[in-house]
Amino acid sequence: MPCRVCQSETIVKGLLHRCSKKTCDAVYWDKFAVKRLVKENKETSKEASPKWLTALLLEAKVPGFVRGKYYVYTLKLRKNLPKNTSAKRQTKMPNSGNGRFYVGMTGLHPYERYLNHIRGYKASWAAKKMAITMTGFEGPMTREEAEAREPARAQELRKEGYDVHSN
């Protein structure tokens, strides 16, 4: 499976695909495999770190939680809304046609946060349903820095003509 940003080869660790190109920071989780695991582990779906999730993170060599370190991350979303999207939501999510992004901040490693979006744990609707790939992240930084950087990053992308979602 090629990188979803630059089409280069990806390096696969467990269910995490990372772009092999030095100048590209894109990564993505094998969403179907993650969803299958979520189904098989329904009883722990509301837990912050169930065993199966910890195993996935270890296998993918995602760095563990470090208190006080925050990140701002960017997810590329599908352009088109899922077919069953409510009319109300459609009006809240206009499509300029240039592409969509989700910008968020987190105290977890961004790859772990991305995985939580996919499994539906504290996930925004847009990120859960429409994330294609994480294009990159900034940090670690302090919480205050991340709180300032998150809206600034969203604004940068809007200026470039993209539709940007957060929360």
Residues of this chain that bind Zn ion (CB under 5 A): 3, 5-6, 8, 19, 21, 24, 26
Question: Residue 24 Cβ, how far from Zn ion at the closest point, in Å?
Answer: 3
Q: Given the complex with Zn ion, which of 6 and 58 has the nearer CB atom?
A: 6
Q: Given the complex with Zn ion, which of 21 and 69 has the nearer CB atom?
A: 21
- Adjacent-strand bridge partners of 88: none
Alpha-carbon span 128 to 107, nearest angstrom: 18
| Alpha-carbon torsion, ordered 62, 64, 65, 69, to 10 deg | -70
Quickly list H helices, 62-163: 87-92, 110-119, 125-130, 143-159
Question: Residue 119 Cβ, how far from Zn ion at the closest point, in Å?
Answer: 24
Question: Residue 142 Cβ, how far from Zn ion at the closest point, in Å?
Answer: 29
Q: Given the complex with Zn ion, which of 120 and 136 has the nearer CB atom?
A: 136
